[in-house]
Amino acid sequence: MTIDFEIPEFIQQQQAMVEYIAQATMRPYSRELDENEHARPTAFIDQIWPILKEQQKATLRKLTETPDPNKPKRPSTTYLRLMLLVEMLSWGDAGIYLCLPSAALGGSAIEAVGTPEQKIRFLTRFAEGDKPVWGAMAMTEPGAGSDTSAIQTSARYDEATDEWVLNGEKIFCTSGGLALEESDGLVIVWATVDRSAGRGGMKPFVVEAGTPGVKVVKAEIKHGIRASDTVAISFQDARIPADNILGSSEVQTGAGNKGFKGAMATFDASRPLVAAGALGVGRAALEFLKEKLTESGIEIPYGTPYHKLTAIQRDVMEMEADLKAAYLLTLRAIAMLDEKLNNSLEASMAKVKAGKVVTRVTQKAVELLGPMGYSREWLAEKWMRDGKINSLYEGTDQINTLVVARRILEYSRNELS
Amino acid sequence: MTIDFEIPEFIQQQQAMVEYIAQATMRPYSRELDENEHARPTAFIDQIWPILKEQQKATLRKLTETPDPNKPKRPSTTYLRLMLLVEMLSWGDAGIYLCLPSAALGGSAIEAVGTPEQKIRFLTRFAEGDKPVWGAMAMTEPGAGSDTSAIQTSARYDEATDEWVLNGEKIFCTSGGLALEESDGLVIVWATVDRSAGRGGMKPFVVEAGTPGVKVVKAEIKHGIRASDTVAISFQDARIPADNILGSSEVQTGAGNKGFKGAMATFDASRPLVAAGALGVGRAALEFLKEKLTESGIEIPYGTPYHKLTAIQRDVMEMEADLKAAYLLTLRAIAMLDEKLNNSLEASMAKVKAGKVVTRVTQKAVELLGPMGYSREWLAEKWMRDGKINSLYEGTDQINTLVVARRILEYSRNELS
Amino acid sequence: MVSFTLTEDQQALTETLRRYAVNDVRPVAHDADEDSKLPQAVVQKGWELGLIPAVIPEELGGFGDPLSAVTGALAAEELAYGDLSLALAVLSPALFAYPLLLYGTAEQRENLLPLFLEETPAPVTAALLEPGIFFDAHELQTTATHEGDKVRLNGTKAYVPLAAESHWMLVYARSSETGVVEAYLVEDSVAGVQVESREKLMGIRALPTYRINFNDATVDAACKLGGVVGMDYPALLNRQRVALAALAVGVARASFEYARDYAKQRVQFGKPIAQNQAIAFMLAESAIEIDAARLMTWEAAWKLDRGEEATREAVLAKQYADKAVLFVTDNGVQTLGGYGFIREYPAERWLRNGRGFPAFAGLAMV
Amino acid sequence: MVSFTLTEDQQALTETLRRYAVNDVRPVAHDADEDSKLPQAVVQKGWELGLIPAVIPEELGGFGDPLSAVTGALAAEELAYGDLSLALAVLSPALFAYPLLLYGTAEQRENLLPLFLEETPAPVTAALLEPGIFFDAHELQTTATHEGDKVRLNGTKAYVPLAAESHWMLVYARSSETGVVEAYLVEDSVAGVQVESREKLMGIRALPTYRINFNDATVDAACKLGGVVGMDYPALLNRQRVALAALAVGVARASFEYARDYAKQRVQFGKPIAQNQAIAFMLAESAIEIDAARLMTWEAAWKLDRGEEATREAVLAKQYADKAVLFVTDNGVQTLGGYGFIREYPAERWLRNGRGFPAFAGLAMV
Question: Residue A12: how many CB atoms within 10 A of its CB?
Answer: 11
Q: Give the number of A-D residue pairs with CB atoms closer than 8 Å.
A: 136
| Neighbour count for residue C149 (Cβ, 10 Å) | 8
Would you name the residues of B annotated as active-site residues?
Answer: 394
3-state secondary structure at position C345: coil
A:B CB pairs within 8 Å: 31
CA D319: distance to chain centroid? Answer: 15
Instruction: Tell me which of D322, D334, D343 to substitute to probe the interface with B (most B C-beta atoms closer than 10 Å).
Output: D334
Which residues from A are below 8 Å from C202, CB to CB? 366, 374-376, 381-382, 384-385
Searching chain D, which residue's CA lies closest to the CA of residue B225?
Answer: D341
Q: What is the mean pLDDT of residues D150-168?
A: 97
Instruction: Decide if D323 contacts D317 (C-beta within 8 A).
Output: no
D63 and chain C in contact, CB less than 8 A: no
Phi, psi of A135 (to 5 degrees): -115, 160
Question: Which chain C positions have a beta carbon within 8 Å of A371's beta carbon?
Answer: 129-133, 135, 158-159, 359
In tens digits, what is the pLDDT along chain B, a chain of 417 residues? 799 999 999 999 999 999 999 999 999 999 999 999 999 999 999 999 999 999 889 888 887 777 777 776 677 898 999 999 999 999 999 999 999 999 887 888 888 788 989 999 999 999 999 999 999 999 999 999 888 889 999 999 999 999 999 999 999 999 999 999 999 999 999 999 998 888 888 899 999 999 999 999 999 999 999 999 999 999 999 999 999 999 888 776 655 566 666 666 677 888 999 999 999 999 999 999 999 999 999 999 999 999 999 999 999 999 999 999 999 999 999 999 999 999 999 999 999 999 999 999 999 999 999 999 999 999 999 999 999 999 999 899 999 999 999 999 999 999 998
Average pLDDT over residues D98-114: 97
Are B309 and A314 a contacting pair at CB < 8 A?
no
Q: What is the pLDDT of residue A256?
A: 57
Strand partners, A187: A136, A207
pLDDT for D280 beyond 70 = yes
Say if D269 is an interface residue toward chain C (CB within 8 Å).
no
> What pLDDT does residue A254 have?
58
Nearest-angstrom CA–CA distance, D334 and B356: 11
Question: Can you give the pLDDT at residue D149?
Answer: 94
Distances (CA, A) of A88 to A18, C20, C124: 7, 48, 48
Work out whether the CA dihedral B232, D349, D272, B404 comes out positive or negative: positive
Long-range pairs, A412-417, Cβ under 8 A, ≥24: A415/D275, A416/D274, A416/D275, A416/D277, A416/D280, A417/C269, A417/C276
Neighbouring chains of A at 3+ CB pairs under 8 Å are B, C, D
Are A392 and C342 in contact (CB < 8 Å)?
A: no
Residue A272 binned pLDDT confidence (cut-offs 50, 70, 90): very high
Neighbour count for residue D178 (Cβ, 10 Å)? 10
What is the DSSP code (8-state) at residue B258?
Answer: H
- Residues in B 8-47 with any Cβ partner in C closer than 8 A: 8
Chain C CB contacts of D277 below 8 Å: 276-278, 281
Q: Tell me the C-alpha to C-alpha distance, in Å, between residue D61 and each of A335, B34, D116.
A: 40, 49, 10
pLDDT over 70 for what percent of chain D? 100
DSSP states of D249-295 as a string?
HHHHHHHHHHHHHHHHH-EETTEEGGGSHHHHHHHHHHHHHHHHHHH
Catalytic positions of A are: 394
For chain D, say whether B162 makes contact (Cβ under 8 Å).
no
> Per the CB < 8 Å rule, is A367 touching C159?
no
Mutate to test the interface with C, among A375, A376, A416 (most CBs of C within 10 A): A375
ipTM score for this prediction = 0.96
Q: What are phi and psi of D89, to 5 degrees?
A: -65, -50
Question: Average per-residue pLDDT in chain A?
Answer: 93
Q: How far is A243 from chain B (nearest CA, A)?
A: 46
pTM, whole model, 2 decimals? 0.97
Q: Which residues of B touch A (CB under 8 A)?
A: 306-314, 368, 370
CB of A119 within 8 A of CB of A64?
yes
Question: What pLDDT, in 10s, does the model give residues A220-271?
Answer: 999 999 999 999 999 999 999 999 999 888 776 655 566 666 666 677 788 9
Cα–Cα distance, C112 to C106 (Å, whole number): 10
pLDDT in tens, D294-336: 999 999 999 999 999 999 999 999 999 999 999 999 999 999 9
- In chain B, the residue whose alpha carbon lies closest to the alpha carbon of A308 is B310
Q: What does A118-172 look like in DSSP terms, one character per residue?
A: HHHHHHGGGGSSSS---EEEE--BTTBSS-GGG---EEEEETTTTEEEEEEEEEE
> What pLDDT was estimated at residue B254?
58
Q: Considering only the beta carbons, identify the residue of A4, A329, A408 that sits closest to D283.
A: A408
- Tell me how far the alpha carbon of residue A85 is from its chain's centroid: 12
pLDDT of C17 strictly over 60: yes
Q: Which among D245, D252, D250 is positioned nearest to D357, based on CA atoms?
A: D245
B positions 363-402 inside 8 Å of D (CB): 363, 366-377, 381-382, 384-385, 388-389, 391-393, 396-398, 401-402
Structure confidence at residue B71 (pLDDT): 74
- Of the partner residues A321, A353, A405, the one whose CB lies closest to the CB of residue D283: A405
* C269 vs D: CB within 8 A: no
User: For chain A, what percent of residues have pLDDT higher than 90?
Assistant: 80
Q: Taking CB atoms and an 8 Å limit, are C200 and A375 in contact across chains?
A: yes
Mutate to test the interface with B, among D30, D36, D129, D134 (most CBs of B within 10 A): D134
The nearest CA of chain C is from the CA of B130 a distance in Å of 36
Which residues on B lie below 8 Å from A312 (Cβ)? 306-307
pLDDT value at position A386? 98
Taking a C-beta distance cutoff of 8 angstroms, is the pair A186, A106 a contact?
yes
Predicted pLDDT at D118: 95
Question: Does the distance separating the beta carbons of D158 and B370 come in below 8 Å?
Answer: no
